[in-house]
Amino acid sequence: MKTKRHLTALGLAAASALLLSACGTDDNSASRGDDAQGGNGGTSGECAGQENIQAEGASSQANAMDEFSVVYQEECAGFSIDYNPTGSGAGIKQFNAGQVDFAGSDSPLKDEEITAATDRCEGAVPLHLPMVFGPVAIAYNLPGVDDLVLDGETIAQIFNGTITSWNDDAIAALNEGVDLPDQEILPIFRSDESGTTENFQQYLEAAAGDAWTSGGGKSFTGGVGDGRAKSDGVASGVASTEGSVTYVEVSFAHSNDLSIAQIDNGSGAVELNDESTGAAITNASLAGDGADMVIDLDSVYGTQAEGAYPLVMATYQIVCSEYPESETAEAVKSFLRVAATTGQENLSTLGYVPLPDEFQEQLLDSVETIS
């Protein structure tokens, strides 16, 4: 039976090492910088194993994987990785069929998928390694209101139609001194099935209490608002519609010049930035065992830690704890060392959250258990 662990209690021993459509941005042309947050940075360790890695899965981490690939080839001359962003489900199927060396997934494996992955790994259990994190913004278009504060309950009531006006008493109570207009709220949601919607609704279930009772899943269940396809669709919809609000990956909010609400997690209003999202990751608990780093999402979405922005999605690399081929194991370890260290240095410019120091060290410990 799986038990929950808190990240800060794990220590640095290898045996105890350790969640959105896409998060990130469609533009991965930014140059890597030395001043970005990236935990320990520096060395990625030994380059070894087979020269090419094949991987497939979540599109949410596609731009991060492009960045990792560039850095991997810079640090490990002659080595490369091909990542196909076909989606979490397809990646898991290809991994379990032995067609790729690891998979990317926005959610942990289901029981039947764990069974199939264990067979693929010839009896070794799979590991979930959360390598890429992407924040989700509550983005809005309300001219004259630049510093809006919402909490889990008011966000839920906006997206289920209970709160219909921007000057509603519940919103006003969180925004004392702000001149809120008597204007109708138009929620804009993802009309297509989306990992972002799934994580957003998981957040509401964890943070909104009885205010959100319509359930979760990849399809929006709130029952009100205007549906738009894909992340760029909801973001552009808000950009062109005064009074509207949506949930979207932060890079799309920035590229459409949208205002982003602060979220009061119960300990005060928190702005979305690297520090606040990193605090949520650091304070997360784990539901996995040993080196398996499945994150207890309730501990992220329901956090009341001071300064922690709670709406952050995790993408896992699904790997064998022990590979049938040693050359594959060494190559996967080499790549993941790079991805967890120097590969993180430019992620904030791509709309992701660089790994906090403590989390990074614990993740590296889990990587080193791969054999």
pLDDT at 26 exceeding the cut of 60: no
Model pLDDT for residues 330-365, shown as the tens digit of each residue: 999 999 999 999 999 999 999 999 999 999 999 999
Do both 175 and 108 map to the same domain? no
pLDDT at 75 exceeding the cut of 80: yes
Output the pLDDT for position 45. Answer: 55
143 occurs within a structural domain: yes
Tokens of 148: 């809006």
Output the pLDDT for position 36. Answer: 36
Q: Above pLDDT 90, what percent of the chain?
A: 81
Confidence at 83, pLDDT banded by 50, 70, 90: very high
Do both 210 and 239 map to the same domain? yes
The CATH number that applies at residue 71 is 3.40.190.10
Average pLDDT over residues 72-83: 97
- Full DSSP string of 15-42: GG-------S-S---PPP-TTS--TT-S
pLDDT at 68 exceeding the cut of 70: yes
Confidence at 195, pLDDT banded by 50, 70, 90: confident
Strand residue runs (E) in 49-197? 52-57, 80-84, 102-105, 126-140, 149-151, 186-190
- Structural domain boundaries enclosing 34: 11-132+315-368
Do both 125 and 28 map to the same domain? yes
pLDDT at 262 exceeding the cut of 90: yes
pLDDT at 30 exceeding the cut of 60: no
C-alpha distances in Å from residue 179, one per residue of 55, 67, 149, 238: 51, 43, 13, 20
Model pLDDT for residues 132-189, shown as the tens digit of each residue: 999 999 999 999 999 999 999 999 999 999 999 999 999 999 999 999 999 999 999 9
Contact status, residue 4 vs residue 297, Cβ threshold 8 Å:
no
Do both 33 and 92 map to the same domain? yes
Output the pLDDT for position 25. Answer: 38
Model pLDDT for residues 210-236, shown as the tens digit of each residue: 999 999 998 999 999 999 998 999 999
35 occurs within a structural domain: yes
337 occurs within a structural domain: yes
